[in-house]
Amino acid sequence: MEESSKYHVELFPYLQSWGLREFRDEASYYEWQRETLSKEELLNFQRLIEHRYGGDDGKADIEFYDELARGDLIPILYSQRFQYFLTIGTAVCRRIAPAQQVLDFGCGVGILTIFFALQHPDVEFVGIDRSSRSVEMACLEAEKRQIRNVRFEISHVPPQISGTYDLILSTHALFQAEQEPGLPSRTWKTFQRADDLQRQEQLEVLTGIQGRLDSLLWVLGSNGRMIIFEKTWNLGRRIFFQRALDARGLFPISSPVFCRYRSVDEEVVDGPLHEVARLTQGVETLGWNEKPYRAPGETLYRCIGIAADRMGRVLAMDQVSASVSGVHSSIGSWMFRFGLWKEVFAWGLCEHSSGLTGLVIGGEADRDLLHQLVETVTHITESDFQQLVHDFWGDMIHAEEDQSVPCYENHHPSAQIIYERLPSKHIQQESTFQDGEKGEMHIELGTTTHLTYLYFANIFDQRQLVLMDEERVQVLSEYYRESLQHPHGPPA
Ligand SMILES: C[S@@+](CC[C@H](N)C(=O)[O-])C[C@H]1O[C@@H](n2cnc3c(N)ncnc32)[C@H](O)[C@@H]1O
């Protein structure tokens, strides 16, 4: 069995031993909350959550964790994080060796720390947290489970930490300040950040990262490592945090790992998990990457009906590189065409005699996925064909035809490359302005070969590109007008 899955398997019943349950839908989670807590307790729970984000020197945060460190509330609060614990606990646990002395900063009630100690009985663990009740609970749990290689201490960092550790862990503890977007890019046109040391320092002070990191580094042995997992999926936060590590001579020693998990029924992308060390002899380090990460398939877009039909016609005016057809015993005849459009898009268009037209389209970054699709369709069997159509367009087939469905849409940073490559681009209207706390924002309406586009971009890496056929220009002009009247990001 692979090491990672061994931890994963053992973590599941361990989490259950804390009373945690895995929920896959919100309704059952909230029903369980209502069954378990009285009305007053629920209101108090809600009040603590809101109060916590009041933002101050940490007092509200300490009160939040102190009040929630109770046997009856832990399962309620942390069942939402069941998948988080599984994913992060597994990823951290397999990276602990060869450490001997491990510090878990911001250990909370010790759910993960105790699991790590159980899995690595020859390693000494110390968990520290500023919430005294959380630490009390962690001590009681370790005692109850008779685990001797872990101890817990109350410590509000900075400054109080003593000892020397060859591994320091921090999971969702170093960089909380969730409203803080981090460093903005130079302009809406780029993801690059200026080397603004003053702004970096201000933010480090404001978020408390400066004091926390400096205190932790004080107790990190010269050849020690840190494993850090924080909410830095947004590029502005990630670059700010990476620069704080870089400024202290810490560099990645393995590739950062992004993690996806569910929080009840919501898909969360989080991290990355950084494994860092000081630049010392014999340690191979990697550089910091300040570019946006791109998930495989991120540029892909699917549509059916009018949107697919009209976009299909535009795309087929350029290169059609393959055409595969067949007859299916129940659907009738079908044809799949594939092609490239102006070196911007790769696409596949499926038409069958039942009347379905389905389009899948992707940018340069996902061209390989579309090449694989050509291969699959060329050698497809009858039952696999039906499954493939279902996998691509099945969820759309019964929806009512909607005139405003775009011919292509991309909400990710990868939209920028596609926007930059659009051929014969002609801007019809554009506006660049300050969008409140989101900073500089740009909206642009224009035409490209046989299509109209709308593009949004701001200095905190939000991007959105929407393409429509010429017959539905009106929809985009409306969006453009609305967005200028209510400039709070692109319409959903
Ligand atoms: C979101 S919880 C994370 C707990 C645990 N690491 C996990 O992954 O589940 C954050 C914890 O960090 C602690 N914490 C935040 N800032 C701290 C500081 N400056 N010093 C000590 N503990 C801190 C909080 O009290 C809280 O228990």
Domain of 147, CATH number, reads 3.40.50.150
- 233 touches 260 (CB < 8 A): no
**Stretch 146-172: mean pLDDT:** 95
pLDDT confidence of residue 426: 97
- Is the shortest distance between the CB of 108 and ligand 1 below 6 Å? yes
- Is the shortest distance between the CB of 87 and ligand 1 below 6 Å? no
Dist CA 193 CA 291 (whole Å): 10
pLDDT confidence of residue 488: 58
- 354 touches 371 (CB < 8 A): no
- 164 touches 101 (CB < 8 A): yes
In a domain, 245, yes or no: yes
Q: Output the CA 98–ligand 1 centroid distance in Å.
A: 25
- Is the shortest distance between the CB of 130 and ligand 1 below 6 Å? yes
- Is the shortest distance between the CB of 462 and ligand 1 below 6 Å? no
Q: Give the number of the atom of ligand 1 that is nearest the alpha carbon of residue 134.
A: 27
Q: Output the CA 203–ligand 1 centroid distance in Å.
A: 19
The chain-wide mean pLDDT, for the chain, equals: 91
**423 and 319 in one domain?**
no
**133 and 29 in one domain?**
yes
Nearest Cα residue to atom 13 of ligand 1: 106
Classify 453 in phi/psi space as left (phi over 0), alpha (psi -120 to 50) or beta.
beta
pLDDT confidence of residue 179: 85
- Is the shortest distance between the CB of 230 and ligand 1 below 6 Å? no
- Is the shortest distance between the CB of 92 and ligand 1 below 6 Å? no
pLDDT confidence of residue 1: 40
pLDDT surpasses 70 at 417:
yes
**301 or 353: which leads in pLDDT:** 301
CA 401 to chain centre: 31
Dist CA 406 CA 308 (whole Å): 9
pLDDT digits (tens, 9 = 90+) for 454-488: 999 999 999 999 999 988 889 999 999 988 887 65
**89 and 49 in one domain?**
yes
**386 and 254 in one domain?**
no
Dist CA 164 CA 367 (whole Å): 50
What total number of domains does the chain contain? 3
**108 and 83 in one domain?**
yes
- 335 touches 353 (CB < 8 A): no
Q: What contacts 129, CB < 8 A, 6 or more positions away? A: 65, 106, 107, 108, 135, 138, 152, 154, 155
**476 or 438: which leads in pLDDT:** 476
Q: What contacts 456, CB < 8 A, 6 or more positions away? A: 441, 442, 443, 444, 462, 463, 464, 483, 489, 490
Provide the whole-model pTM.
Answer: 0.90
**359 and 418 in one domain?**
no
In a domain, 175, yes or no: yes
- Is the shortest distance between the CB of 59 and ligand 1 below 6 Å? no
**418 and 387 in one domain?**
no
pLDDT surpasses 80 at 353:
yes
What type of residue is 474?
Q
pLDDT surpasses 50 at 492:
no
pLDDT surpasses 60 at 421:
yes
Q: Is 442 exposed, middle or buried (0-12, 13-18, 19+ CB in 10 A)?
A: middle
pLDDT confidence of residue 204: 96
- 357 touches 351 (CB < 8 A): yes
In a domain, 97, yes or no: yes
Share of the chain above pLDDT 90, in %: 70
Q: Among 122-126, 173-177, 220-224, which range has the highest average pLDDT?
A: 122-126
Q: Output the CA 73–ligand 1 centroid distance in Å.
A: 17
In a domain, 403, yes or no: no
pLDDT confidence of residue 183: 96
**345 and 270 in one domain?**
no
Tokens linked to 58: 């940490």
pLDDT surpasses 50 at 491:
no
**Which ranges in 69-184 belong to alpha helices (H)?**
74-79, 82-93, 111-119, 132-144
Confidence of residue 310 (pLDDT cuts 50, 70, 90): very high
**Which ranges in 415-472 belong to alpha helices (H)?**
415-421
- Is the shortest distance between the CB of 209 and ligand 1 below 6 Å? no
pLDDT confidence of residue 119: 96
pLDDT surpasses 80 at 251:
yes
In a domain, 296, yes or no: no
In a domain, 399, yes or no: no
What type of residue is 58?
G
**Stretch 238-260: mean pLDDT:** 95
pLDDT surpasses 80 at 266:
yes
In a domain, 402, yes or no: no
Sequence-distant contacts of 466-470: CB under 8 A, at least 24 apart: 466/406, 466/408, 466/409, 467/311, 467/406, 467/407, 467/408, 467/409, 468/406, 468/407, 469/307, 469/310, 469/311, 469/314, 469/407
Phi, psi of 259 (to 5 degrees): -120, 140
Confidence of residue 299 (pLDDT cuts 50, 70, 90): very high
**418 and 365 in one domain?**
no
Between CA 15 and CA 20, with CA 17 as vertex, the angle to 5 degrees is: 50
**Stretch 195-216: mean pLDDT:** 96
Dist CA 225 CA 212 (whole Å): 16
**50 or 163: which leads in pLDDT:** 163
In a domain, 339, yes or no: yes
Q: What contacts 140, CB < 8 A, 6 or more positions away? A: none
Q: Output the CA 128–ligand 1 centroid distance in Å.
A: 8
pLDDT confidence of residue 57: 65
Nearest Cα residue to atom 16 of ligand 1: 173
pLDDT confidence of residue 2: 42
Residue-range definition of the domain harbouring residue 454: 408-485
pLDDT digits (tens, 9 = 90+) for 40-63: 888 887 887 777 765 556 888 898
